Amino acid sequence: MSIQADARRITAPEIQARKGGEPIVSLTSYHAHTARLLDRHVDLILVGDSLGMVMHGLETTVPVTVEMMIVHGRAVVRGTQRALIVVDLPFGSYEASPTEAFHTAARVLKETGAGAVKLEGGRRMAETVRFLVDRGVPVMGHVGLTPQAINTLGSFKARGRDDAEASIILDDARAIAEAGAFSIVLEAIAEPLARRITEEVAPPTIGIGGSPACDGQILVLEDMLGLGDRVPKFVKKYANLGPDIETAVATYAEEVRARTFPAKEHTYAPRLVDKPAKAS
């Protein structure tokens, strides 16, 4: 029983209960190895559709499929024991109707073992959020800069920097909160707006380019590790692994070409077999 208790995952209701309390620590992950490294330190891991750009070299998140999300979501769940795993619903898999969203969300939860899903959009998605929550699907909302809408937004610039747009985003957050989202991601919006949303909505807010007043923060793991060529202003690099990896690969290539790798300590000696004793 104690082993089961130690390994019990954080749940969506537990994240929801953190409103105004200890800040929620979140990062993205797309495969088991990095998820295992994150698991002891974070409360929530998002398998974001940003994997399309980070892992697959796509220009936007729009081409990402449900199957891609399931493959990566399943891997992250396998690599963790503690953190709540949230999987993005990709573009085109939930917008048409609440029923379509439920079928997609149910499949994602069943096939990955994740504990919640995330979808983008404000007032237009409130009915869908309510429909999912009423049917047992924990939903994380996402307002502000919504990357799946890049073809209509036109750019990845910050949102809510004028009164008119700020009012729209505030209404979006209120609608998602009232619909039952257990938390809301606030991406790339003006700091005073992120602070106001955090003060006014019931579920915890998780900022990514929002405000230190948010109830939690999230970054794309590869961005904060210095693995991306271009990162948004809101990213702080906690490491600079990109150049270190390239240096390591260059050194490896030189040693292979010079035949200094593998050295003796990296190879296996033959097994010695005892010869049978001669008869006297």
pLDDT tens readout for residues 190-240: 999 999 999 999 999 999 999 999 999 999 999 999 998 788 899 999 999
Tell me the average pLDDT across 176-182.
98
CA atoms within 13 A of residue 232's CA, in its CB half-sphere: 17
Pick the closest to residue 101 from 112, 111, 92, 110 (CA basis). 92
Residues paired with residue 185 on neighbouring β-strands, in sequence order: 142, 206
Q: Where are the beta strands (DSSP E) in the chain?
A: 24-28, 44-47, 84-88, 116-118, 139-144, 183-187, 205-208, 216-219
pLDDT at 6: 53
Q: Which residues are annotated as a binding site for 3-methyl-2-oxobutanoate?
A: 49-50, 88, 118
Residue 1 has pLDDT above 50, yes or no: no
- 165: CB partners within 8 A, 6+ apart: 159
Q: Which residues are annotated as a binding site for Mg(2+)?
A: 49, 88, 120
Q: Which residues are annotated as a binding site?
A: 49-50, 88, 118, 120
Residue 247 has pLDDT above 80, yes or no: yes
| Helix ranges (DSSP H) in 180-261 | 191-200, 221-224, 241-257
- 197: CB partners within 8 A, 6+ apart: 169, 170, 173, 184, 186, 205
Residue 278 has pLDDT above 80, yes or no: no
Residue 280 has pLDDT above 70, yes or no: no
Distances (CA, A) of 17 to 13, 14, 130, 151, 183: 6, 5, 19, 35, 10
For residue 7, what pLDDT band results from cuts at 50, 70 and 90? low
Active site residues: 187
Q: Tokens 């809408």 sit at which residue?
A: 149
Greater model confidence, 276 or 262: 262
For residue 155, what pLDDT band results from cuts at 50, 70 and 90? confident
Instruction: Round to whole Å and give the CA distance between 55 and 76.
Output: 14
